[in-house]
Amino acid sequence: MAFQNNPYDFISEELEEGNVYLFYTNLNKLYTVYFDPSEYADYLDKFPFLLSHGFGFGFYFEQISEKTKKGNDDRVLPTIFEIGLDFLNENPTNTILLYHCDSKDKRQTYRHELFEDWYKALPPEKVYMHSIEVKIAQPDGELISHYLGFITNASNPNIEKAILELEDFAMDLIKIKSSK
């Protein structure tokens, strides 16, 4: 399955803390897609491959006027993944885009499913995605699901190493979060 809609035009900027890509939508929103090599650095000291090849990958939007329109924009999804592909193509083959689905508003499962749908729309010969669900017990006993994963070039010769380190990292995360 391929994306049915054309991506928006975007610009890229290289900053001290990483790379950002910007694009405007027809709904008057400014999206920022970022690739930050230090986003997870404090957590990856025991995982040398992810530490040296990983970039935090995320995005957010801002309303750029009071005339920002509400609704679903079918061009945002292909634009974000076009940006991801652009970044992977501009960097070494073993670059890893690390992500987690924000759980602050309890919509992490929705975000995870969106990532999965996006990945299925991409050509498998270009990218590989691996994701993990981590359940962390809250003080009241409720289990909260957290989703984390990575996206990389399908030709990355170190995919297995990245998977092993991500799974070990997820286990460490469970221990850290469960002890709080």
Q: pLDDT 10s digit of each residue in the chain, 180 long?
A: 455 678 999 999 999 889 999 999 999 999 999 999 999 888 899 999 999 999 999 999 998 887 767 888 889 988 998 999 999 999 989 999 998 887 777 778 888 888 788 788 777 888 999 999 988 888 888 888 888 999 999 999 999 999 999 999 888 876 665 565
128 CB contacts (<8 Å, ≥6 apart)? 151, 152, 153, 154, 156, 159
**Interval 121-160: pLDDT, tens:** 777 888 999 999 988 888 888 888 888 999 999 999 999 9
What pLDDT, in 10s, does the model give residues 110-126? 888 887 887 887 778 88
Mean pLDDT, the chain, whole residue set:
87
Domain with 23 in it: 11-178
Give how many domains the chain has, as a whole number. 1
Cβ(4)–Cβ(74) below 8 Å: yes
Contact 22, 14 (CB under 8 A): no
The pLDDT of residue 29 is 94
Residue 37 domain flag: yes
Residue 2, in any domain of the structure? no
In a domain, 41, yes or no: yes
pTM to 2 decimal places: 0.86
Q: Is residue 1 part of a domain?
A: no
Percent of the chain with pLDDT strictly greater than 90:
52
C-beta neighbour count of 27 within 10 angstroms: 17
Closest CA to 99 of 146, 163, 148: 148
Query: CA-to-CA distance for 64 and 154, rounded, in angstroms?
Result: 36
Could you tell me if 57 and 40 are in contact, meaning their C-beta atoms sit under 8 angstroms apart? no
